[in-house]
Amino acid sequence: MRRLNKHEAAARMRSGKTVWAAGAYDALSAKLIDEAGFDVVFTTGFGISASHLGQPDVEIYTMSENLAVVRNIANAIRVPVVADIDTGYGNAVNVMRTVREFEQAGAAAMVIEDQEVPKRCPLVANAVEILPLDESCAKIKAAIEARRDPETVIIARTDALTEDQAITRARAYVEAGADMIQPISRTFRSVASLRRLRKECGVPLSLQILGWLEKDLDPAEISEIAGLAVFPLVPLMTATHAVLANLRALAASHTTAALPSPTTTTDEFKKFIGFEEMEALQARFLVRELPEQVFFE
């Protein structure tokens, strides 16, 4: 299977030809997404916070912690990475450094939110606070100026909670230079409203397929409006359900004879994770040192 490179993925997203992704929270989940055949890998802040800190997604982790995960993911996979960079970790000047660091780490695209710092996850929070429009636009302009590769895609996410406010912000972010717009699922509640957003902002949408979008939209409807379509939580929720079920059974029975979820064999996992390639490299480059010779007179 031929995989997209960074520039091909960027061109497709900007053109509105949908690029499909799932959400990774570490390098292993990213490799699984790549292996499954997705066009790109999306790094989910929700999942990274859960996986690395065991904490909710309220921007507790730092820029450098998120960056380390994204760098490991980019180094582990063969497809481009779309990085969730939260609010950019500060003001417009902080955003410039954030964009450069994530671009250098291998991100082909980045999603930046317009919430106050620290952010709150709109998936679970009753209310979120968003920045004044002029400050949010300045952060988008800073992100555009900071990127070293003009092909790096900047996706502006608005967490505005009314359609009209979100559309006003989307237009302003596009004028500031954003390549794509990402709404949150709780604001736009129908495919007709998403079509309106797409028409009004003039660029393809980035959609996180959650909530009603996951239940009610079919792939054709998503493809009509989205340059990027992400299933951000399916890997995390799948792993959580399967691992917890097996561990509960194992804790109760102390045997692997009847685990509720099937497991990958050790041989299968070794092949997937790359032991064969590593052993080939070791055979080529690791020269054994000869034992020290003892000479007798």
pLDDT of the chain along its 297 residues, tens only? 688 999 999 999 999 999 999 999 999 999 999 999 999 999 999 999 999 999 988 888 999 999 999 999 999 999 999 999 999 999 999 999 999 999 999 999 999 999 988 776 665 556 678 999 999 999 999 999 999 999 999 999 999 999 999 999 999 999 999 999 999 988 999 999 999 999 999 999 999 999 999 999 999 999 999 999 999 999 999 999 999 999 999 999 999 999 999 999 999 999 999 999 999 999 999 976 556 655 555
**Number of Cβ atoms within 10 Å of the Cβ of 192:** 8
Length of the chain: 297
Kindly report the pTM of this predicted structure.
Answer: 0.92
196 and 147 in contact (C-beta within 8 Å)? no
- The rounded distance, in Å, linking the Cα atoms of 177 and 43 is 23
Burial 101-129 (b: 16+ CB within 10 A, else e): bbbebbbbbbbbbbbeeebbbbbeeeebe
**Domains in the chain with CATH codes:** 6-239 (3.20.20.60)
Strands 19-24, 40-43: pairing kind? parallel
113 and 155 in contact (C-beta within 8 Å)? no
Residue 229 has φ and ψ, to the nearest 5°, of: -125, 120
The catalytic residues are 57
